[in-house]
């Protein structure tokens, strides 16, 4: 099924792959305690039956100064109450996860295979939650007393609650420092509908880490629910913290979480422009956000406690603010990478060093040299010409020996300080065996499919070719088999009960959380009935949503613009823009630095985002496609023509957004077209030469048919050479002096001779980076641009400069 706003195709959405166990912990990282919305407020407490099924979009961002982890995922929430008991179930949908560090941004998709991911019940008479998982114990043990001690004076109230981290169940060092939570509750209305605004502010307080370092922590949060605290419209929090070491070094932390309800067409359900009180609260939240935390460090594991403190404070603050057993599903414990168990980052030289060291360790532990080489080939440099399933099977053959080596290494760590060889073994195991890195595996497999498609197109064939479709279907099936083998272990570990079909096989759609059917649950029959009803409602709502998405042709939409003006960016984290992107995403703008200094960079960034790119660097890297589309007369007419607003759907936000995207591509292309000299286009790719002398040969490498070109070479805004040349097979030599830096060589096709198109070959001497011999193919009036860096450094082995 497709969740509203999903950026995956319907076919891809149906092939839902469950995240691995640690990603669930990362969704206990992303939506854990609060995903279990135990009940609602007044309506349920007053004994009124209620039933709601709605969609939430969740995002989570954790920055620790080493890296920034972002997740964005959609959730279907179904909740109902009968008598004094209520039940809430959730189904996680499509999304994305990104890891941004000093080495760039890695993106991977998030998807879900099981129909229901979380379930809980709430007893209003006993004020207790039931269910599996630590969130239930947290609520019953720590949050219930706070709700009772600090009640609000009414729907329009301001009050302060005081607690400690120890009282919230977080063990800390040093004395119990008071934590003040200033709360505000205010009724708001929109189009006759009544809502409640809850806002909290936590002034700075201090605590200590186990290392003795001092942490200063502060936070804000905003939520909007219906008047009965039953349906979440908006929930967002921002935490900042600094850790000060004994030597005075300061490490910054930031945790940002948000959820907002989305309509079936993917737009934000609650329009903030008519709720100035809410917009003002979100802006105050943005002020707490502060400047971005730069990811500068490498290979350093972050301290998890600030993130855990943020998660618990979010739950406590909103539970007190509501005054009921309905903790909002705010995101909790942050998803953090563990660099100690990841492949050492960097270029090919570091990879080669790691490979040599790993090979020595494997052989020292009894693996033969050829076997070690084959294993490292399968892990670090897989052959793209081999079927993925073959590579996987080869790696699986080493699974037991690797695990045995890892176990032996662990036994030798008596002093707690692993030797380098032990660390290598652990890294190799963790990279490709442990569940922690399954998303990386999935990203690489998806990237492989993308490369296959690119290669097919580059060969001049169509993606509609039956041969391609058959090959891609087979490739996808093989890759899904690989992934399913990994996820099967996780599914087997879940605490679930199954009903048997007549053929004694478990039916997936009959899975019921084990605690519901447990013989010790006196309400088992009632809970099972409530669970089945909610699940049926959820499936019906999803089917209706999919029909709406199909009607609006929104399966490929890139970005939601349903939030109020300058508040929108708080609800969109890094992962929101990466839902269909996998692999390393461009973030470096340095090679366009000189040009950007002369441009309105903020406007360029805005146009890039509206055109569907995750950032400006990605757009500039795709400049050739933008230029091609924007300068095509047919595309321009199509882009500038307003959409039709007839029919059942009319002109909703989604259609207007797609129109805005097309217009943004044209506007961005016009700007780039005025500065074509900063891009290598027309079939050329950037090169670097070792010295400052540009020596090149330009010739017609095909039929000598009278092609004429106009050549212009410029650098630092100054034209160095300009002239018209008649191309011959023998060619013409040029020798020009350049300054250190980037220059551009533009070739303008004056004609196409008597055998179109205008084609030629350029050969440049002393090239240390890129291709020294390149060709172009132009129609009359078209331009090809070659960017040349004079005084460039030689590329390292493997192509990294």
Same domain membership, residue 778 and residue 757: yes
Same domain membership, residue 735 and residue 615: no
Same domain membership, residue 428 and residue 352: yes
Which residue from 144, 281, 305, 291 is spatially nearest to 224, judged by alpha carbons? Answer: 281
CB 162 within 8 A of CB 192: no
**The two structure tokens encoding residue 10:** 């319907």
Same domain membership, residue 444 and residue 381: yes
Residue 562 within any structural domain of the chain: no
CB 204 within 8 A of CB 216: yes
pLDDT at 646 over 70: no
Q: Which domain holds residue 480?
A: 348-493
Q: Calculate mean pLDDT across residues 441-460.
A: 64
CB 40 within 8 A of CB 230: yes
**The two structure tokens encoding residue 134:** 């630590």
Same domain membership, residue 489 and residue 364: yes
pLDDT at 520: 67
CB-neighbour burial class of residue 661 (10 A; exposed 0-12, middle 13-18, buried 19+): middle
Domain end position, chosen among 437, 463, 493: 493
**pLDDT band per the 50, 70, 90 thresholds, residue 700:** confident
Domain end position, chosen among 632, 652, 674: 674
| 3-state SS assignment for residue 2 | coil
Residue 738 sits at the vertex; the CA angle it makes with 733 and 739, to the nearest 5 degrees, is 170
pLDDT at 182 over 90: yes
Residue 327 within any structural domain of the chain: no
Domain end position, chosen among 462, 493, 524: 493
Residue 141 within any structural domain of the chain: no
Same domain membership, residue 478 and residue 387: yes
Residue 364 within any structural domain of the chain: yes
Q: Calculate mean pLDDT across residues 592-607.
A: 78
The answer for residues whose C-beta is within 8 angstroms of residue 510's C-beta and 6 or more apart is 498, 499
Q: Calculate mean pLDDT across residues 699-718.
A: 84
Q: Distance between CA 140 and CA 56 in Å, rounded?
A: 25
pLDDT at 139: 83
Same domain membership, residue 630 and residue 699: no
Q: Calculate mean pLDDT across residues 338-354.
A: 37
The answer for residues whose C-beta is within 8 angstroms of residue 52's C-beta and 6 or more apart is 77, 78, 79, 80, 230, 231
Cis peptide bond N-terminal to 757, omega within 30: yes
Which backbone phi and psi does 730 adopt, to 5 degrees?
A: -70, -40
Q: Which carries the bigger pLDDT value, residue 606 or residue 354?
A: 606
Residue 418 within any structural domain of the chain: yes
**The two structure tokens encoding residue 96:** 């994305």
* pLDDT tens column, 296-330: 444 455 567 888 899 899 988 988 888 765 433 33
* pLDDT tens column, 491-542: 333 323 333 333 333 333 333 455 565 666 777 777 777 777 777 777 777 6
Computed from CA positions of residues 366, 372, 374, 379, in that sequence, does the dihedral angle turn out positive or negative? Answer: positive
Q: Distance between CA 86 and CA 25 in Å, rounded?
A: 25
Residue 283 within any structural domain of the chain: no
Q: Calculate mean pLDDT across residues 683-694.
A: 85
Q: Are strands 128-130 and 157-163 parallel, antiparallel or unpaired?
A: unpaired
Residue 251 within any structural domain of the chain: no
Q: Sheet with 773-778: list strands edge to edge.
A: 732-737, 693-699, 758-764, 773-778
* pLDDT tens column, 743-798: 888 898 898 887 788 888 999 999 998 889 998 888 888 888 888 888 887 765 54
Same domain membership, residue 626 and residue 604: yes
pLDDT at 762: 92
pTM: 0.49
Q: How far is CA 265 from the centre of its chain?
A: 21
**The two structure tokens encoding residue 449:** 């499919």
Domain CATH code at residue 762: 2.60.60
Q: Calculate mean pLDDT across residues 95-102.
A: 69
**The two structure tokens encoding residue 381:** 């440099």
Residue 784 within any structural domain of the chain: yes
Q: Bridge partners of 260?
A: 57, 234
Same domain membership, residue 458 and residue 359: yes
Half-sphere exposure of 738 (CA within 13 A, CB side): 28
* pLDDT tens column, 108-139: 555 554 556 677 887 777 777 887 667 778 88
Range from 51-60, 439-448, 575-584 carrying the lowest mean pLDDT? 575-584
Same domain membership, residue 638 and residue 701: no
pLDDT at 73 over 70: yes
Same domain membership, residue 700 and residue 668: no
Count of domains forming the chain: 3
Same domain membership, residue 717 and residue 754: yes
């Amino acid at each position: 099924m497709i969740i509203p706003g999903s950026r995956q195709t319907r076919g891809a959405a149906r092939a839902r792959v469950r995240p691995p166990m640690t990603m669930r912990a990362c969704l206990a990282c992303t939506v854990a305690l609060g995903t279990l919305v135990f009940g609602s407020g007044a309506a349920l407490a007053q004994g009124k039956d209620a039933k709601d099924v709605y969609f939430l979009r969740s995002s989570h961002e954790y920055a620790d100064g080493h890296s920034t982890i972002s997740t964005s995922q959609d959730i279907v929430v179904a909740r109902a109450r009968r008598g004094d008991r209520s039940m809430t179930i959730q189904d996680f949908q499509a999304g994305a996860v990104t890891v941004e560090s000093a080495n760039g941004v890695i993106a991977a998709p998030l998807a879900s295979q099981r129909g229901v991911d979380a379930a809980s019940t709430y007893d209003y008479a006993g004020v207790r939650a039931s269910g599996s998982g630590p969130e239930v114990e947290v609520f019953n043990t720590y949050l219930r007393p706070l709700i009772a001690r600090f009640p609000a004076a009414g729907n329009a109230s301001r009050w302060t609650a005081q607690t400690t981290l120890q009282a919230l169940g977080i063990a800390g060092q040093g004395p119990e420092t008071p934590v003040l939570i200033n709360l505000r509750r205010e009724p708001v209305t929109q189009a006759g509908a009544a809502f409640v605004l809850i806002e909290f502010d936590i002034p700075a307080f201090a605590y200590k880490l186990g290392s003795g370092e001092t942490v200063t922590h502060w936070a804000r949060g905003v939520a909007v629910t219906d008047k009965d605290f039953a349906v979440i419209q908006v929930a967002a929090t921002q935490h900042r913290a600094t850790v000060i070491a004994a030597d005075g070094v300061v490490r910054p932390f930031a945790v940002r979480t948000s959820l907002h309800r989305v309509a079936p067409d993917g737009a934000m359900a609650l329009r903030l422009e008519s709720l100035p009180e809410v917009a003002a609260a979100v802006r105050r939240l943005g002020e707490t956000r502060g400047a971005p935390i730069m990811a500068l460090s490498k290979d350093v594991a972050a301290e998890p406690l600030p993130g855990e403190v943020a998660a618990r404070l979010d739950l406590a603050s909103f539970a007190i603010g509501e005054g009921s057993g309905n903790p909002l599903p705010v995101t909790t414990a942050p998803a953090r990478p563990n660099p100690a168990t990841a492949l050492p980052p960097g270029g090919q030289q570091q990879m080669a060093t790691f490979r040599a060291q790993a090979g020595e360790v494997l052989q020292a532990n009894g693996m033969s040299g050829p076997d070690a080489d084959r294993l490292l080939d399968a892990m670090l440099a897989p052959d793209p010409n081999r079927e993925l399933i073959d590579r996987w099977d080869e790696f699986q053959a080493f699974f037991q020996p690797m695990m045995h080596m890892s176990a032996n290494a662990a036994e030798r760590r008596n002093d707690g300080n692993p030797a380098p060889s032990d660390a290598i073994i652990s890294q190799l195991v963790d990279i490709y065996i442990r569940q922690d890195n399954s998303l990386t595996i999935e990203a690489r497999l998806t990237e492989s499919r993308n490369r296959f498609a690119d290669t097919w197109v580059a060969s001049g064939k169509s993606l509609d070719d039956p041969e391609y479709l058959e090959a891609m279907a087979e490739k996808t099936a093989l890759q899904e088999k690989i992934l399913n083998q990994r996820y099967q272990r996780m599914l087997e570990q879940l605490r679930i009960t199954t009903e048997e079909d007549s053929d004694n096989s478990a039916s997936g759609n009959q899975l019921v959380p084990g605690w519901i059917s447990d013989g010790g649950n006196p309400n088992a029959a009632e809970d099972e009935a409530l669970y089945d009803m909610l699940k049926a409602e959820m499936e019906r709502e999803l089917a209706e949503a999919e029909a709406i998405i199909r009607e609006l042709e929104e399966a490929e939409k890139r970005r939601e613009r349903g939030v109020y003006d300058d508040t929108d960016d708080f609800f969109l984290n890094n992962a929101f823009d990466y839902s269909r992107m996998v692999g390393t995403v461009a973030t470096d703008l340095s090679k366009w630095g000189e040009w950007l200094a002369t441009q309105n960079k903020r406007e360029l960034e805005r146009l890039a985002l509206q055109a569907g790119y995750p950032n400006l660097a990605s757009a500039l890297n795709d400049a050739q496609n933008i230029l091609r589309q924007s300068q095509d007369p047919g595309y321009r007419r199509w882009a500038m023509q307003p959409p039709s607003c007839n029919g059942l759907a009319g002109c909703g936000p989604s259609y207007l957004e797609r129109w805005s995207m097309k217009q943004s591509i044209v506007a961005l292309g016009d700007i780039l077209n005025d500065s074509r000299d900063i891009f290598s286009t027309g079939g050329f790719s950037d090169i670097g030469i070792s010295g400052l002398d540009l020596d090149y040969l330009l010739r017609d490498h095909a039929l000598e048919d009278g092609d004429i070109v106009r050549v212009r070479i410029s650098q630092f805004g100054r034209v160095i050479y300009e002239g018209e040349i008649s191309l011959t097979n023998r060619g013409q030599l040029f020798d020009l002096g350049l300054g250190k830096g980037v220059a551009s060589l533009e070739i303008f096709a004056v004609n196409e001779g008597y055998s179109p198109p205008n084609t030629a070959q350029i050969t440049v001497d002393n090239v240390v980076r890129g291709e020294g011999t390149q060709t172009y193919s132009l129609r009359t009036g078209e331009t090809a641009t070659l960017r040349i860096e004079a005084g460039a450094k030689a590329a390292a082995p493997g192509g990294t400069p």
